[in-house]
A = this chain, B = another copy of it.
Amino acid sequence: MTRLLIVDDEALVRAGLKMILESDDDLEVVAEAEDGADAAAMVVKHRPDVVLMDIRMPRLDGLAATREVQALPDPPKVVVLTTFDLDDYVFRALQAGASGFLLKDTPPRELVQAVKVVAAGDAMLSPAVTRRLIGHFAADSRSDRQRQARKRLGALTDREREVLTAVGRGLSNADIGKTLYMSEATVKAHVSRVLVKLDATNRVQVAILAHDAGLLD
């Protein structure tokens, strides 16, 4: 049995959601809250498995409430529900720790499905939201940059890559020599070749490249 908490400022919406959700025998609404400020308290009191959270609410909005709830020990999963699929909402909700983000025009059957998926530890987004997320992800050239950077690293020898990593950490040549057991002169030679191979003019540039390539982290 999956225990649910519904957080929405409109009683009618809460009633509708409760109706839909309890049509499934595995779901039980154990509590309701009418704004974000009450949400955390209700979570502590009733310990639901999943929280359905509206965004637009008086006092504390759904995003802040989600953050608050996720900060609790052994927090429940949170599914954010909203009428608007604004980018900003989506990203902030996901970063606040939400496991789902559904639009209010989601069909009842999918809502039930989403709650179950989330309770099982996976995630569920409305299709339109998924599209936005993917769009942003693909547009986020970071991973692209990473692959490009990695490509350039292919020409390096093992030793050179080790030295490069150390440079990326911000170590001095002397420090690198100590940690890799070689003289400072040798370190310099490696760094010098790395500079040539990566077409850089100083160590700062290769350090950044090392980071872009994900060599550190």
Task: Report which A residues bind B (CB closer than 8 A).
Answer: 91, 94-95, 97, 99, 117, 120-125, 127-128, 130-131, 133-134, 136-138, 140-144, 167-168, 170, 172, 200-205, 207-208, 211
Contact = CB atoms under 8 A, between A and B. Distances in A.
A127 B142 CA distance: 24
A124 B113 CA distance: 14
Nearest to A122: B127
Contact of A172 (B136, B141, B143, B202): B202
Contact of A131 (B121, B200, B201): B121
A125 B130 contact: yes
A110 to B, nearest CB: 9
Nearest to A117: B127
B94 A170 contact: no
Contact of A170 (B136, B172, B201): B201
Contacts of A202: 170, 172
A136 B107 CA distance: 28
A208 B205 contact: no
A208 B95 contact: no
Contacts of A141: 91, 95
A120 B130 CA distance: 13
Given A170-B204, A207-B207, A94 B127 contact: no
